[in-house]
Amino acid sequence: MKILLTVHQFFPQFAAGTEILTYSVARELLKRGHEVRVLTGYPAPHALNDANRCDEYYFEGLHVYRFHHTYTPMGNQTSLLEIDYDNHLAAQYFRQILDSFNPDVVHFFNLHRLGTGLIEQAVEAGIPAFMTPTDFWTICSTAQLLLCDGQLCSGPSRYSGNCVKHFVQNTRKGLLGKIARYLPTPLVDFLVYLTQIGVMPAYPHRIEVKAAGNRLGVNMARLNQLNRIVSPTALMTERLVKYGVLPERILQSAFGIDVTATNTLRSSPRQPLRIGFIGTLATHKGCHVLIEAFKTLASGRAILKIYGSPTDFPDYANGLKQLAGNDNAIEFCGTFPNANIADVLADLDVLVVPSLWYENTPLVVYSAQAARCPVVASNFAGLSDVIRHEDNGLLFKAGDVMALSEQLFRLINEPHLIEHLSTQAQQPKSTSTYVDELIGVWQSV
């Protein structure tokens, strides 16, 4: 088969969970003799001419098409919010790829920086189209269902008035941004509704308010044009159905990982205990919560190894180093090739996943389980689907420093607990099995 995969960003510049999943699937398909290409978005650092937004490259023999996205007017569009979810220029580029490559199947892993208009292009071209939503971007423009203050968001209100408030708070730092925080969401919903039906007089940023109000409806209608959605978690399925995706469109299947290179035998926990964090150094991943909890532990009882790029979100990464201070027990280890993850996990006694958002079961959790490395994780659906408290890991209230500290203290003082959690590790699905499932879904329609 000829298969086209899409993702919001890709190797070699980006190597987080969604990128690893996309690459692993592509590599497995290539190994089986299929012809595979990838379309990726790319966060361009500055405005570009429309003619310069598209290019191609090869990564480890994989043909990659790339669309350079910026939050600036492009093509025939001026609304920055609309450009985010309904990018006409990206859709045109995608159609050119469909016409030249003529794939048998399109599978979307993430449409951020590309837009859901790509779905319509595939449907119009008569090409079966599928999706694995790796985050909540189709529902929430931040992709994380988080408010400006870091609190969890239940999702868009009836006319997305809360999304408009969020947009204003993020883009208007003066008086308007402060006022938006206190406006009742039902009032903003009503203003959005009046704007959508065209009875409001002209006012600044009206085009953005209208785009925000239209976002959810446009995206959900397009998701319902897909042949199937392969949802990785029950939480994702519940949210999609809540906002209008037809249940019969959705199949549920957890991600797969490369389990062939993982370690199945664990040594006894060491003294001092070796605690690890592996992930993006960004606020929503909660590494600061881990550092604060770690600093409450007795000196000399544990060390903390933090793996993540300091350049993706440099302000946050610098803040972590300031928070760590001169503590020699905290080590910032940078990044490593994903092929080395088994060796990294073998060097840890426990992995901590202190996420501050719902997540969608990070691949690193599956990798840790494959390596029988116990996981201490925020008690969120998605994570708790895999990690069962006091069975194959420990859970704590997200963002609660002392709750995390308590679980780490237990691991230091109860070495047999680590051995128990390691023994009970749930072996994850392999990439090969996951690809078998995807092919089965594709062939079923």
DSSP assignment of 127-175: --EEE---SSTTT-TTSS-B-TTS-B-----TTSHHHHHHHHHHH--SH
CB atoms within 10 A of CB 350: 25
Please answer whether residues 363 and 385 qualify as being in contact, where contact means their C-beta atoms are separated by less than 8 angstroms: no
Residue 351's nearest CA partner among 360, 341, 359 is 341
Q: Which helix (H) or strand (E) holds 303?
A: strand 302-307
- Per-residue model confidence (pLDDT) at position 371: 92
Q: Following CA atoms 290, 296, 298, 300 in sequence, which dihedral angle do they give, to the nearest 10 degrees?
A: 40
Q: How far apart are CA 167 and CA 141, in angstroms?
A: 9
pTM: 0.91
| 351 within 8 A of 364, measured Cβ to Cβ | yes
Q: Rounded distance, CA 396 to CA 400, Å? A: 8
Residue type at 208 in one-letter notation: E
- What the chain holds in terms of domains, given with CATH numbers, is 2-143+216-256+431-444 (3.40.50.2000), 161-211 (no CATH), 273-423 (3.40.50.2000)
Could you give phi then psi for residue 2, rounded to 5 degrees? -100, 120
Dihedral sign from CA coordinates of 414, 381, 429, 21: negative
pLDDT profile of the chain (445 residues), mean per 10: 98 93 97 98 92 96 97 94 97 98 98 98 98 96 84 89 85 69 88 91 89 96 98 95 97 87 64 95 96 95 96 95 96 93 93 91 90 95 92 96 98 92 92 97 94
pLDDT at res. 175: 65
* CB-based contacts of 215, cutoff 8 Å, min separation 6: 81, 85, 141, 156, 160, 163
